[in-house]
Amino acid sequence: MTAPRWPDVRGILFGADYNPEQWPESVWAEDVALMREAGVNIVSLGIFSWARLEPTPGAYDFGWLDRVIDVLHEGGIAVDLATATASPPPWFSRAHPASLPELADGTRLWWGSRQAYCPSSPDYIAAAARLAGVMAERYGSHPAVRMWHINNEYGCHVAQCFCDASAAAFRSWLRSRYGDLDALNTAWATAFWSQRYGDWEEVLPPRVSPTWRNPTQQLDWWRFSSDALLEVFRAERTAVREHSDLPVTTNFMASRFKPLDYMAWGQEQDLVSNDHYFLGEDPAPEVELSLSADLTRGLAGQAPWLLMESSTSAVNWQPRNLAKRPGQLRRNALQHLARGADGIMFFQWRASRGGAEKFHSGLVPHAGIDSKVWREVVALGAELRSLAHLRGSRVHARTALLWDYEAWWAVELDSHPSADVRFLPAVRAYYESLWRAGITVAVVHPDADLTSYDLLLVPSLYLMRDSTAAALTERVRAGATLVASYFSGIVDERDHIRLGGYPGALRDLLGIRVEEFFPLAAAETVQLSQGGTATIWTELLAAGAAEVVETYVDGPLPGVPAITRNSVGEGVAWYLATSPDPATLTRVLVTAAREAGVAPALELPAGVEQVRRGDTVFVLNHTDRDVTVGGTLVAAGDVAVLPAG
Amino acid sequence: MTAPRWPDVRGILFGADYNPEQWPESVWAEDVALMREAGVNIVSLGIFSWARLEPTPGAYDFGWLDRVIDVLHEGGIAVDLATATASPPPWFSRAHPASLPELADGTRLWWGSRQAYCPSSPDYIAAAARLAGVMAERYGSHPAVRMWHINNEYGCHVAQCFCDASAAAFRSWLRSRYGDLDALNTAWATAFWSQRYGDWEEVLPPRVSPTWRNPTQQLDWWRFSSDALLEVFRAERTAVREHSDLPVTTNFMASRFKPLDYMAWGQEQDLVSNDHYFLGEDPAPEVELSLSADLTRGLAGQAPWLLMESSTSAVNWQPRNLAKRPGQLRRNALQHLARGADGIMFFQWRASRGGAEKFHSGLVPHAGIDSKVWREVVALGAELRSLAHLRGSRVHARTALLWDYEAWWAVELDSHPSADVRFLPAVRAYYESLWRAGITVAVVHPDADLTSYDLLLVPSLYLMRDSTAAALTERVRAGATLVASYFSGIVDERDHIRLGGYPGALRDLLGIRVEEFFPLAAAETVQLSQGGTATIWTELLAAGAAEVVETYVDGPLPGVPAITRNSVGEGVAWYLATSPDPATLTRVLVTAAREAGVAPALELPAGVEQVRRGDTVFVLNHTDRDVTVGGTLVAAGDVAVLPAG
Amino acid sequence: MTAPRWPDVRGILFGADYNPEQWPESVWAEDVALMREAGVNIVSLGIFSWARLEPTPGAYDFGWLDRVIDVLHEGGIAVDLATATASPPPWFSRAHPASLPELADGTRLWWGSRQAYCPSSPDYIAAAARLAGVMAERYGSHPAVRMWHINNEYGCHVAQCFCDASAAAFRSWLRSRYGDLDALNTAWATAFWSQRYGDWEEVLPPRVSPTWRNPTQQLDWWRFSSDALLEVFRAERTAVREHSDLPVTTNFMASRFKPLDYMAWGQEQDLVSNDHYFLGEDPAPEVELSLSADLTRGLAGQAPWLLMESSTSAVNWQPRNLAKRPGQLRRNALQHLARGADGIMFFQWRASRGGAEKFHSGLVPHAGIDSKVWREVVALGAELRSLAHLRGSRVHARTALLWDYEAWWAVELDSHPSADVRFLPAVRAYYESLWRAGITVAVVHPDADLTSYDLLLVPSLYLMRDSTAAALTERVRAGATLVASYFSGIVDERDHIRLGGYPGALRDLLGIRVEEFFPLAAAETVQLSQGGTATIWTELLAAGAAEVVETYVDGPLPGVPAITRNSVGEGVAWYLATSPDPATLTRVLVTAAREAGVAPALELPAGVEQVRRGDTVFVLNHTDRDVTVGGTLVAAGDVAVLPAG
C-alpha cells in the first residue's frame, strides 16, 4: 500500500451523503445553514447523479451541480465528489442491453433499481471512465472539492455476473493465472467427473449445473469477480487522475460483505473508507461494529480510515429496522473513532421523501430539526471538534487475527464435511471472546508482517498457503503464541487437500495429527473434560508432541483430545479441535493471551468495551445500567473518554 | 355504482357450478332430478368449456350445451351462463405464444393448467370478446338463461404479467395517468438512484432488478395490473351486451385476494358475486368468513350480494384440507346469508373423477348421495326456502372500517420500517375485536359517504389521500368517533412521505406528533401502563392536544404515549401507536364504540356470533358446547334464527 | 426377469470404484499392493473417464487405461468396466448445446459438474452408445474384465428434462401408450379446465404453468421420464453386447430415489446392483439401510444382488456428514450381506485430493493407511472371505410389502387431501414396526406372485390396478392376512377416482366404506379407544362386514372406526384408517403377523436386528450397550453370525 493521502479538511471529518437533486433548489441554503450549525465539514456529492448530469447520451447538464458546489463552498463545506457512476441511467441500459447482469441461472436483471450493470461490460466500463474523466476535468480544480468518491459500494447488488461477456473475461483472467490449459486442468482437478477442458472456449463461469460445480472453478470465480470490479475501479481512478491529483477512495462494506477481497482493494486506495450499518437484531451488535472497525483498520494497514456511511438511527433494508436509542448515535460514532476512524459520515443528510430508501434515517429526519436525531447530530459535531487531537493517532493492538478473503470463499464452498462451519461465525466467536476481555485485535492478512504481534489467532483458515504456514511457524518459534481452530490449514490455494493427516499445513507446528473428521449432528452438544461443552465439530485426533488440555467426555469420540497445546521453540501453539462454549473459549484464549504477555482488561463488566487509541482510552458502556471501570463511573449507554493511565 | 340488477330467480339463490362435460351425457337426467330434490334453483354453466365449445379455431360445437341447457330448463333450473373464457384451449396458446404470461424474472408460464394468458394480450382479449359475443348471441334469449358469468376469478393465478406486451400497455396507462414524463419522474421520485426517464420506451414493469425497484413504479404497477384485467372484463361485458341485457357479474375472491381493486371492480357489476373458501387452519376461520362477507357487501355498496362459490366440505388446494364437521355446511351458509348474501352457491355440483380438483368436495360427493354431505345439502335447500323473506333486506351496521386496496398495496411494499406490518392482520385484529363484541361492521372505501357511521376504524391506512383526511376530520367534528392505528396517513397517493412529523395526514386530527418509528424486534413484547402488552411497533410520540391514555412501561421508549385520545369538535379521535394484545384492543374499541353510541352485544359467549339482517337476528354458535344468548339456548354448532327483539 | 448372470469372481465380491486417472501413474502399483492386502477382488473402472479417453472428438487415448487394467490383472484384481458415459466431456456439450438439460421453468443446466445431458437427446444417446461399443470392442476380451458397468446412477441429477427434444419424445411415448388423442383426452380428463388437446403438437411436458398441471399428465411424465432413461441404458447395453457377452448392470439408488421405476429396470439387468449411503441424521439409519437392502433384493426378484457403492465412513453431500464410528463399517456391510448382497463395494478406493467429492471417505483416506478406516477395511476383507459360503443363498421372508413406483409418483402429486401423506414415511412406518419385531420383509411389486407370502402389507398404495385388487382378494380368500393403510386403492392407473365410497379398489375386501376424508391439521393428534394416538389422517368410515377394532375418542370424528378387521374366506383383511403411534401400529402388525403364522423374534432388544439368510442367522447390535439374544451375548455395536437353530 502506498502511503495514505487524506483530503485537506481539518479535524475529524464529519458529514454525510448529500443528495440535493432530490429537493427543490430553494432548500439548499437552509441545508448549508444547518450543516454549519451541526459542524459538518464535508459532504459526499453526486453519487447517484448520472441521470441528472447526462439526461441524454453525451448531453450534460452541470448547471445545478455547479450551483450546489458553490453554495457549499460559500458555507465552508468541503466536497467529496463522486464520479457519479454508481448507477447508469435507464437510457444507458436500454442502449446497451448486453450490459445488464445475468444470474447463474440465466435470469437477466433489469434497470429500475440501481447498479444494473455487468462488472465486465466493456460498454459500462468505457462509459463510467468517460464520465469520471468529465467530472474530474470540470471539478478537479474547484476549491470546495477535496477528494474523489469513486463509484459507490462496488458489487453490493451485482458482485458477480454470469453472462457471456463475463465468461470471456473469466477466460482471459484464467489464461493470465494459469498460462495453459494443462495447468488449469491440474489445478481444477478435472480428472474428476470427466471435466477435462480441451479448449479455452469450453471454460465457463459456474452457471447452474446438474450438481456441485468444480470447487476450484468456484474459488477462481470468486477471485476473478473481485478482480473484475477492481478493474472498473482502476479504470475510473485512471480517468480521474488524468485531471486531478486529489485523494481517491471507494467506500467498502466491511465486515459482512464477502465478494470483494478488500485486503487487495485496500492497497489501491489513497485512504480506506467504509460503510457500516448497525444490525439491530444481532445478539451483540456492538461487537459486530467493533469487528467491522478493526477489519477496516486492517484494510488500511492499521492506519486511520474514514467511516464514509453510517446511520443516525434506523435503516430501511432489514426486516425490522430498529431505531437507535437516545445516546446510541454518539456511542456508535465514538466506537468507530476509538478503533481508528478519522472521520464520521452518514447516509444521508436529509431523509428522502420518496424512493426506496425514504425510511432510512438521515441527519435531518422527516419530522424536521425539532427531533432527537437532529439534537444528537449537533451534539456529536461539537464533541468531534473537541477530539480533533485524535486524528492520525494509532490504535494499540498486540494480537493479530488472520483474515483472508480467499479462505472465506474456500471454507464456505459446498460439499464440505459440515455446513455449520462458516467463516464469519468462527471469526466472530474468537473476536468476541477477546472483545469481552478488553483485548484489542488487529485484523491482518496472512501475508502481513507479524513481528509486532505476540498473540496470533487462526480461526477457520481452511485455505492456507505454504508461506503462511512458514510465517506462523517462524513467529511461534520466536516466542509468539498461536491459537488455531479446527478446519484450518486443510487445503492449498488450489483447494487441494494437504495429505497425510489433517491439518496438513499446521500438523507439525501443532504437534498433532487428525485422521478423520467427525462433524456433529445439528444441535448436538458434547461434553468436555473440564466441564464445558462443544458443538459443530469433533475429529479423530492423535496428539504427537502436543500436550492434551481437554478431551471429549461423550459424543462420537469419548476420550479423544479436543484441545491441545504444543511448545515450539520459544512459543506455544494451541489447537482447538472443536467449537467450545463461549466460557471455555474465553478461558483458553485468555490463558494463551497471558502466555503471550497480552494482558486482558481487569474486571471489565459485561457489555462494556475498552479500547485505546493514541493516548486516549475509551470506555463504552453498551448496557442499560451504570458501571464503574477502573474507578470511573460510566453511566448507562455513556462513553468515557480518558487519558491513557 | 349503478342500481343492482338481479337474475329472475325466486327466493334465495341456491346452486352450484355445473360441469356436465366431465360426465357422460347419461348422467345429466339424474343430475337434474337430484338438483330438484335438493331445491337447487340455479347453476353456473360453461365456465371451462372453451376447448369443448370451440375444439378447433372458429369451429364451434354447441350441440351438447344446447342439450344441457334444455334439460336444465325442463327441470326448472335457471342458468348462470359463463362466457366460457376462463381458460383458453391449448390450440389458442400454441397459435398465440405471445399470449402466454411471463413472471418478473422472465419465466414463461405454459398451458396445461388453466388461465395461461397475459391480461394485456391483444390476441386473448379479442378472442375472449369474440367468444363472449358468440355465447350471448346464441343463448341470450334462451328462457333458462338468467344471467351472465363473465370469465372466472380474474387474476387468481396470473394477476400480473411482465412481458413486452404488458410493458407497452403499462406505458399507455402511465401516459394517461401522468400526461408527460416530467410528471412521472416527479411522482416516482426518480432523482433517487439515477432513475430519471428520458423516453417513454425506457419505462418497464418492475421486472427483477439488482435490488428494490422504485416503490411508486411498483404501486402504479399494482394499479395498472388491476385495471388491465378490468379492461378484459369490460371487453367481454361489452360483447355480451350487444346481444343480451341480462345481468352480468364476475366472481370475486374477497377478502384474501390482494391484486384486484375490487372496490373499483364492484362499481362495474350488475350484481356483486364472491367466492369464499373456509381456511381450515386459520385460528378463527369463522371470523375470516364474516370479514369476507362484510367486505363483499361493501363492494356491493352495502346491498345484497351473491355467494357464487363455496365448498360443501374440504377443498383441495390447502396443505391439509380439513373437512367440514357435521352441521358446519349449514352454519357457514347461514353466516353468509346473515351478512347480506341473497344466494348460496357452491363449487361444484358433482365432485370430479379426474383432474386437479378431484379432491374438492361437491354437492354430490364421490361416495354418492348416501352421505353426510348430500343430506346436509338437501336440508340446507329446504331451510333457504323458508328464509326467502330475507331476500333484499339490509344488514345493520353503524361502524365503518375503511378499506382501500391502494393502501394495502402501498403498505406492503418492500423496504419499510417493519415487515411485520401487514394489511390483513392489522385489519383482522380490529375486525375480530368487534366481531367478538357483537358489533357489526360495514367495510367501506375511504371515499364513501361516511355520514351514516358513528364509529370509524382506520387500521393501517398507510396511503391516505387529502380528501380522506378531510372527510374523516369533518365526520369527527360532527360527532363521530375515530380509531386510527399506527402507520396510517403516512404517505400521499404517490407514496411520498407527508413531512413534518408522522402521521402527516392525521396529525392535527389526532392531536399528536410522531418524530421517529421504533419497530420492535421479532417476538419482542413491551408492557403497557394499564397491564396489557404490545408487539410489532412503537414510536417516539409527543401528545399535543391529545390526552395520553396509556404509555409504555419498558421497551425502547418507556414512558412514551402508546394510546391517545383527542376531542375534536363534537367527536373523538383515538390513536393506537402500537399493536396491543387482543384484550387491550377490545377494551379500547368497546370504549370508543360506547362513546359513539354503538352498543356491543351483551354477554356474548366466546365463539358465538351475532348479527342482524332486516328484521332477523342470527346467533351462530361456532363452539362445541351449548350456549344461552339472550335467553335462547343455542346448541353446539347450531344457529338460532330469531325475530329482531 | 431373465436368470441372473454374475461375473466370474470367487467368493463375496469386495472392492471399490477405482479412479486412477486422478493420481500419478506412480501410485498405481501401491494401489494394487494395498488392494491385495485388503482382499479386494474387483474394482469398478472408468466411470468418469470419457474426457480422458476421448480428449477431442473421435480421438481416443486408451494407453493409460490399458496399463491400469494390466496392472490390476497382474495383481489378480477383476475389473467391472464402465462404459465411461456417465458424464460427457465439455467439448461434447459445447458441440451439442441442445443436449443440455432444461428445468420445468426453462432454465438451462450447463456443464461443469456432471451428468449434464438431456435423457432424450439424440446426440447424447448416439455418442454414449458409440463409446460403449468402442469400450466393449477394445476390452471385452481382456481377461481382467468380468462385467460391464453401464453408465452410472442414471438420473441422479437429471432425471427429467423439459426441453423441446424431451417434449417430442414425450409425445411419441404418449402416442404409443394411447394410440389416439381421444384416448389421451379421456385418460387425462381434459374436459376439466378446458384442457382438451386437438393436435399432438399441443401436448407438452408439465412445464411451469399458472397453477397445478394436469395430474395424469404429471403421472405420465414420471412414467415417460423413467422410460426415457431406460432407453439410454438399453442403447448402451445393445452396443456392449455387440462385442461382449459379459454380465451387465447399472447401479441403482434404491430406496430413496423416486424418479426411476426400478421395478421395471430390475428386469433388464443381468445382476441387480445398488448404491447405498448411510443417512447420518435419520433417527434410525440402520432401519433405512435394511429397507434399502430389502428393496434391492425385491428389484432382483429376491435373488442375490451387488452393493456397488457404499462408504467406509462419511460422505460429502449431506449438510452434516457424520463419520462412521468404530465397528460401524463392518456392521453396515454385514447388514447388506445378511439381506442378500453377494458383494460389498465402496465409493471409492482412494479419497480424492481435489474436486467436489474430496471429503467423501475412501478405503485409503487422506490420512493414509495408518488409520481406523484402513484397518477396518482390511479386517472386513478377511471376514468376507470367511463368509464365502453365503454366496447365492436366499433370505427368508414370508411377509410381502407391496411397493409400486407408480403409486409413489401418484400419491405425492399436488392438490391432494393432505400434504402429510407421503409414500416413504408411510412405508417406513410399517417396515420399521416389523424390523423391530424381527420379522423380515420381502419388498415386491403388486403384480408379483404372492403365493409364498402369508402376510401382505399395503401401505399408501393410492394408485391400484384392478389386477392388484383381484390378486390381493384371491390371496386373502386363500388364507393370507392383509394389512392396508388409508389412502390405498383410491384411484386407477389414470389417477381417476374409484367412485361409490373409498377405497374403491379394496372396499369389499376390507368390508368398509369411507364417504369422506378428514385429514388432521398440522401437529394435530387424536386419541384412539385403546389408549394410543394417531396423526395425519382420519376419515368418515362405516364398517360393513368388518369388525371395529378401534375408534377415535376425540378429533373431528369421535366414535368413528379407526381400525377394522374383516374375515374373508380363509384369511383376514385389516384396515388402518389413520396413522397410529408406533406402539399401536406394532401391536396391530404383530397381531396380524401371528394370525398369518409369521412369528416375530422373541425378546429382541430395542435397536437389535435379526435376519436369516440361508442357514445363517445374523444378530446386529446397533446400540452402544451389550445385549443377549437367544442366549448369545452380542457386544455393543457388534454382529453375531450364527448357524440357524
Give the CA-trace dihedral at C259, C262, C267, C268, to 10 degrees. 50
Average pLDDT value for chain B: 97
* In chain B, % of residues over pLDDT 90: 98
C522's CB contacts (< 8 A; 6+ apart) are B281, B319, B320, C420
The C-alpha cell at C362 is: 475412501
CA distance A113 to A127: 19
Cell numbers 408460464 correspond to: B109
Residue A94 near chain B (CB below 8 Å): yes
CB within 8 Å of B231: residues ≥ 6 apart: B119, B125
Chains that touch B (3 or more CB pairs under 8 A): A, C
Minimal CA separation from B369 to chain C, in Å = 9
> Is A52 a residue whose pLDDT tops 60?
yes
CB A552 within 8 A of CB A399: no
SS3 C239: helix
Residues 6+ apart with CB under 8 A from B225: B119, B155, B159, B160, B161, B259
Q: Residue A449's CB: how many other CB atoms inside 10 A?
A: 11
Strands A579-580 and A533-535: antiparallel
**pLDDT above 60: residue B610:** yes
Q: Does B52 touch chain A (CB under 8 A)?
A: no
Residue ranges in chain C whose pLDDT is less than 70: 1-2
Which residue among the candidates A309, A376, A383, A412 is catalytic per the annotation? A309
What average pLDDT does range A231-259 have in this prediction?
97
pLDDT of residue C602: 78
pLDDT computed for residue B281 by the predictor: 86
- 8 Å CB contact of C414 and B366: no
**C253 secondary structure, DSSP code:** -
Contact A192 C355 (CB under 8 A): yes
Tell me, what amino acid is at B354? G
Question: Residue B280: its pLDDT value, please?
Answer: 82
Which chain A residue lies closest to C158 (C-alpha atoms)? A210
| Mean pLDDT within B377-384 | 98
Which residue from C minimizes the CA distance to A105? C107
Predicted pLDDT at B415: 97
CB A282: neighbour CB atoms within 10 A? 12
Please identify among residues 183-202 of chain A the ones whose CB lies closer than 8 Å to any CB of chain C: 188-199, 201-202
Task: Round to whole Å and give the CA distance between A598 and A439.
Answer: 8
Which candidate from A196, A522, A556 shows the least CB-CB separation from C89?
Answer: A196
CB C55 to CB A191 under 8 A?
no
Q: Are A427 and A258 in contact (CB under 8 A)?
A: no
Of C356, C54, C154, the closest CA to residue A196 belongs to C54
Quick one: DSSP state of residue A2?
P
Question: Measured at the alpha carbon of residue B111, what is the angle toward residues B106 and B115, in degrees to the nearest 5?
Answer: 90
Would you state the pLDDT for residue B601? Answer: 84
pLDDT single digits (tens) A320-370: 999 999 999 999 999 999 999 999 999 999 999 999 999 999 999 999 999
User: Minimal Cα distance from C161: which residue of A?
Assistant: A210
C69 φ/ψ angles, rounded to the nearest 5 degrees: -65, -40
How many C-beta atoms surround the C-beta of residue C474 within 10 A?
A: 15
Query: Is A371 an 8 Å CB contact of chain B?
Result: yes
Burial environment of residue B512 by CB neighbours within 10 A (0 to 12, 13 to 18, 19 or more): buried
- Chain B residue with CA closest to A19: the answer is B192
Q: Which among B106, B497, B540 is the nearest to A358, CB-wise?
A: B497
CB contact under 8 A, B317 and C418: no
How confident is the model over B321-330, as a mean pLDDT?
A: 97
Each residue of B631-640: pLDDT tens digit? 999 999 999 9
Interchain CB contact of C104 with A (< 8 Å) = no
Closest residue in chain A to residue C110, using alpha carbons only: A209
What integer pLDDT is reported at residue A603 of this predicted model?
83
pTM: 0.97
Distance between CA B641 and CA B616 in Å, rounded?
7
Q: What is the pLDDT of residues A74-87, one digit of tens each?
A: 999 999 999 999 99
pLDDT at residue B2, rounded to an integer:
61
The DSSP-derived string for B197-265 is -SSGGG-------SSPPPHHHHHHHHHHHHHHHHHHHHHHHHHHHTT--S-EE-EE-TTT--SS-HHHH
Element (H, E) at C617: strand C616-621
- Degrees to nearest 5, angle at CA C275 with C273 and C277: 155
Q: B159 to chain A, minimum CA–CA distance in Å?
A: 21
Environment class of B33 (CB within 10 Å of its CB; exposed 0-12, middle 13-18, buried 19+): exposed
Closest CA to A42 of A5, A82, A2, A4: A82
Q: Amino acid identity, residue A579?
A: S
Q: Which residues contact B428 (CB under 8 A, 6 or more apart)?
A: B287, B288, B291
H/E stretch holding B120? none
CB A363 within 8 A of CB A38: yes
**In chain A, residues 506-565 whose CB comes closer than 8 Å to chain B:** none
- The CB-side HSE value for C337 (13 A sphere, CA atoms) comes to 31
Mean pLDDT check: name the lowest of B59-68, B291-300, B600-609: B600-609
B607: helix, coil or strand? coil
Nearest CA to A158 among A103, A76, A92, A217?
A103
Taking CA–CA distances from A114, the nearest residue in chain B reads: B193
Predicted local distance difference test score (pLDDT) of residue A2: 61
Q: Is B497–A323 a contact, with Cβ atoms under 8 angstroms apart? A: no
Residue pair B538/B562 in contact by the 8 Å Cβ criterion:
yes
Residues 6+ apart with CB under 8 A from A180: none
Residue B93: which of B81, B70, B78, B111 has the closest Cα?
A: B111
- Average of per-residue pLDDT across A419-434: 98
**Contact assessment for residue A462 and residue A410, using Cβ atoms and an 8 Å cutoff:** yes
Residue among B196, B419, B499 minimizing CB distance to A353: B499
CA distance B609 to chain A (A): 36
Widest Cα–Cα separation across chain C: 76
What are the residue numbers of the active site of B? 153, 309
Going along C284-428, which residue ranges are E strands? 305-309, 341-346, 399-402
pLDDT per residue over A148-192, tens digit each?
A: 999 999 999 999 999 999 999 999 999 999 999 999 999 999 999
Average of per-residue pLDDT across B314-328: 97
User: pLDDT, tens digit, for every residue of A467-517?
Assistant: 999 999 999 999 999 999 999 999 999 999 999 999 999 999 999 999 999
Contacts of A351 in chain B (CB under 8 A): 497
Query: Does residue A516 contact residue A540 with C-beta atoms inside 8 Å?
Result: yes
User: For B526-545, what is each residue's pLDDT tens digit?
Assistant: 999 999 999 999 999 999 99
Pick from C101, C108, C356: CB nearest A106 = C108
Among A161, A316, A366, A374, the strongest candidate for a mutation testing the B interface, having the largest count of B CBs within 10 A, is A366
Q: B-chain residues within 8 Å CB-CB of A283?
A: none
Q: Please name the amino acid found at residue C304.
A: P
Name subunits touching A (3+ CB pairs < 8 A): B, C
Q: Tell me the nearest-neighbour CA distance from A225 into chain C, angstroms.
A: 18
pLDDT of residue C601: 84
Which run of H or of E encompasses C35? Answer: helix C28-38
Written as one letter, the residue type at C324 is K
- Residue range A617-624: average pLDDT? 97
Q: What is the distance between the alpha carbons of residues B592 and B578, in angstroms, rounded to a whole number?
A: 17
* A24 secondary structure, DSSP code: -
Q: Which chains touch C (3 or more CB pairs under 8 A)?
A: A, B
Name the CA dihedral angle for A279, A284, A286, A288, rounded to a multiple of 10 degrees: -70
Q: What is the pLDDT of residues B190-225, one digit of tens each?
A: 999 999 999 999 999 999 999 999 999 999 999 999
Peptide bond into C503 cis (omega under 30): yes
Nearest to A501 by CA among A489, A515, A487, A491: A515
Q: Does B107 touch chain C (CB under 8 A)?
A: yes
For helices A285-299 and A328-338, give the axis angle rounded to 10 degrees.
30
